[in-house]
Chains A and B, each alone.
Chain A
C-alpha cells in the first residue's frame, strides 16, 4: 500500500493511503425513544411565552396518544387552544379567543398514536386560514373559519393544558411537539406514521419530550428548535418520561 505525499502540507503529514476510502463523518441517527405522559388532572409542560405571537402563518405538529374519551385540552395558551372529545370525534380549535374551527370527524383512537397538525395562513380566504389534520388527513370545519390575519398569543403556552385555563388537562401521552412560523408540508410531518428528524425543516420550537436523555431530563424539556425557551414539567415526576412512543 503506497502513501501519497502532499507537498502543500507540513512535512511529515501524509494523505490517506492510495486506494483507501476515507471514513465518512458519522451522521447522528434520529431516534425517538421517549414521550411525556400526562395524568388528566394537573400535569402540563409550560413552555413560556409563545414564539408564534404575531405570526401571519404557522404550523403546530405533535404526536398524541389519548387514554381518555371525554373532553381534553391538547395544548394552548389563552388565545389558541385545541380541545377534543374522542368519544364523539369532536374537536374545537380556539383562535385569538374564539372557536373558529369545529370538527365532528376528529378521530383519536384511545391507546393509539396519531399525528395532529394545525396550520394557519392569514393570507388565505377566511374559510381556509385554519386547517387541522390527523395522520395527514384534513378534517372538515363546520364553522366559518377565522377572520384574523395574524395570531396574538396571550399567557404562557402549555402542552397538555390550555394556558391558565385549569380544566380538562390531557390524559395520555404527547411527543415530538414542534412549531414553525410558516406552513409546512403535512405529508412530510406525518412521514407515513413515524416521527422523523425535523432539523432540516428548521422548526421554531421542537420539544422532544424526553429525548435523548430520558428520565434524566426531568424536569426540563429542551427546545431543539431555533428558539431557546425550554419546557418545564409542572406537577410531574421523572417517571412521566416514558418509553411509549409513536
Chain B
C-alpha cells in the first residue's frame, strides 16, 4: 500500500514564486499540476513547510490524499482532451 503524502494543499498561482520546492514533494515549478484555468496548483508534504507555517502562503484548501484525488476529477482540474473519435465498426 502506497504511503501517500499526508497533506495536499491547493495554492493560488500568484504564490508560486514563494514555494520552496525543497520542502514539498513536487519536483519544480515546471512539474506542478495546475487547475484548468491555471489559477491554482497543488503541493504535497508530510511536514508543514515554513512558508505555510509563517503565513507567507495561505492555502486555498488543505486536503487528504483521497480528497485531492476526487478534486482532480472535477471539471476545474480535469479538462476534456481534444481528440478525434473514429467511427465504430
Q: Which residues of B sit under 8 angstroms from A166, Cβ to Cβ?
A: 33-34
Number of interface residues of A (CB under 8 A): 40
Cα distance A146–B88 in the bound complex, in angstroms:
12
Contact B5–A42 (Cβ < 8 Å): no
* Residues A143 and B34 in contact in the complex (CB < 8 Å), given A41-B8, A41-B72, A70-B73: no
B23 at the interface (CB under 8 A from A): no
- The residue from B27, B65, B78, B86 contacting A167, defined by CB atoms under 8 A apart: B78
- Within the complex, the shortest CB–CB distance from A146 to chain B, in Å, comes to 8
Number of interface residues of B (CB under 8 A): 31
Contact B87–A144 (Cβ < 8 Å): yes
Contact B81–A167 (Cβ < 8 Å): yes
Q: Which residue of B lies closest to A46 (CB)?
A: B31
Q: Which residues of A sit under 8 angstroms from B31, Cβ to Cβ?
A: 42, 234-235
Contact A100–B1 (Cβ < 8 Å): no
Q: Mark A16-31, 1 if CB is under 8 A from B, else 0.
A: 0000000000000000
Q: List 15 A-B contacts (CB under 8 A).
A: A39-B5, A41-B33, A94-B83, A98-B85, A99-B84, A102-B88, A145-B86, A146-B86, A166-B34, A167-B79, A167-B81, A168-B73, A234-B27, A237-B25, A244-B1
